[in-house]
Amino acid sequence: MYIQSELSFLCRLVALKSAKRHHDWLEQQGVTLSSEQAITIAAVADKGELRQGDLMGLPYLASEKSKVSRVVQGLVMEGYIDRRDDIHDRRSKILTLSEKGQMMADMMSQAESNNKLILSSLLSNEEMSSLQKALEKIVRAM
């Protein structure tokens, strides 16, 4: 039991420190986004275009429809995201990144690259691969 709690603690600590480093770097660049805004921009950047309703199923963002709507509305108003009606389903909205949103996604990608660079300086490729496989195995089992 102790090993499980220690492993959980270490995984959480790595995630928190990584997120803080990511946030601090973006803040130094003059970026002030909430975690929900950053997750939304990253998700839209990853897919190219995304239905607004699909955001509720994302890990780390799973939330009430009204909260997701407020996050998206804020990003639309700030010019990061473009929103349009889905021609196949008028109830759905399609989200894409604006030019400003793509620039933000690129900055977020750079922040992530900075974190990866730190990890690669600490662990060999073999160690990284072993760690990733072990963590994926744990995730599948839970």
Supply the DSSP symbol for 83. E
pTM of the model: 0.78
Single out the residue of 39, 28, 89 nearest to residue 67, CA to CA.
Answer: 39
Per-residue pLDDT at 113: 92
As a whole number of angstroms, the distance between CA 108 and CA 133 comes to 25
Please report, for the chain, the start and end positions of each structural domain, with discontinuous segments joined by +. Answer: 13-141
Per-residue pLDDT at 65: 77
Per-residue pLDDT at 3: 61
What is the domain class of 13-141 according to CATH?
mainly alpha
As a whole number of angstroms, the distance between CA 94 and CA 100 comes to 17
Would you tell me how many other CB atoms lie within 10 Å of the CB of residue 24? 11
Over its length of 142 residues, how does the chain's per-residue pLDDT go in tens digits? 566 688 888 888 988 898 888 889 889 988 888 888 998 999 999 999 999 888 888 777 666 778 888 999 999 999 999 999 988 888 889 999 999 999 999 999 999 899 889 989 999 999 999 999 998 998 888 7
Strand partners, 82: 96
* Paired sense of beta strands 93-97 and 49-51, if any: antiparallel
As a whole number of angstroms, the distance between CA 56 and CA 19 comes to 21
